[in-house]
Amino acid sequence: MNLEAVAVDLSTALKTITGLRVPPWGVEKITPPAAIIALPERITYDGTYGRGSDQYPDLTVVVLVGKPAERSARKAVAAYADGSGPKSVKEAIEAHTYSSCDSVRVAWAEFDEARYNAGGPYLAAIFHLDITGKGA
Amino acid sequence: MAYVHGKDTVITVATKDISPHCKTSTYEGSADVHETTGYGKAAKTKQGGLLDGKFSMGGTYDNTASTGPRNALKPLLGTTVAVVRKPEGTGTGKPQDAFSGVLSKYVETNPVDDMVTWSAEIEISDVVTTTTQA
């Protein structure tokens, strides 16, 4: 399971949400709404014998919307955090057919205010993904 | 002498390498013990009898057509299968156990918040042949 390939797959899945931008890693400035695919908290190797499987137990996708105090930002973040529907991050990610890994589950989400470089603060929905794939 | 990590363990059942789907496996050898105590003894005496054994394994469910546990093991339930176990992995000089046994149990477990898992048990039939890999 290659981290870059997984990020490309996730990017493709997130781009199916109309209006949500998925900027490439390292871009200097973002325009919300935008989804940032972060690095996993850790990689757990050797889930099964013989390099059978590896796991990213917590890879985060941060969706940044408008200013935290704006009513429209709260409404937008609610749609992205919905368990289903046209803006649902969980539905878009879990509906995708992955070639880079075997299983992707959006396990939970939390909310915060976040900055991206000099931009922001933005209201953010932080999605925590549990990803499992082949080890070798 | 050295400690050995379990991650390199190799298991084949009916010639199919199911190692990539295994997280755990246990070989359990046992033997009958017959009591031979006669009159006048202060403690029991015993003698070994027939050998017996069990082998269990389990891991993460995978729907790979040929070696995924469901496709490789479920159809063999109740039949005698050939098992090769390499507890230290593949390599010259490393040990290997080969035996036949009846696949007596195959279990799939589906938790709502985790991967599907599987486990299986084999009742070993006849002796376990232990060799050193060439």
Which pLDDT value is given to residue B98?
A: 98
Which pLDDT value is given to residue B63?
A: 86
Beta strands, E only, chain A: 34-40, 53-64, 103-116, 119-134
In chain A, the percentage of residues whose pLDDT exceeds 70 is 100
pLDDT tens digits along B48-97 = 999 999 999 999 998 887 888 999 999 999 999 999 999 999 999 999 99
Q: What is the pTM of this model?
A: 0.88
Coil/strand/helix, residue B16? strand
Whether the pLDDT of residue A43 is over 90: the answer is yes
Q: Which residue of A has its CA nearest to B23?
A: A48
Query: Dihedral of the CA atoms B72, B57, A49, A105 (nearest 10)?
Result: 80
Half-sphere exposure of A134 (CA within 13 A, CB side): 9
* Stretch (H or E) spanning A11: helix A3-14
Least confident of A17-21, B53-57, B59-63, B122-126: B59-63
CA distance B132 to B96: 6
Is there a contact between B22 and A47 if contact means CB atoms under 8 Å apart? no
Contact B102, B80 (CB under 8 A): yes
Which pLDDT value is given to residue A136?
A: 81
Q: Read off the tokens for B29.
A: 């050898």
What is the Cα B3 distance to its own chain's centre?
21
Chain B contacts of A107, Cβ < 8 Å? 113
How many beta-carbon contacts under 8 Å exist across A and B? 46
Chain A contacts of B20, Cβ < 8 Å? 48-53, 134-135
Chain B contacts of A58, Cβ < 8 Å? none
Contact A130, A58 (CB under 8 A): yes
Q: With bands split at pLDDT 50, 70 and 90, how would you rate the model's confidence at A117? A: confident
Give the ipTM: 0.87
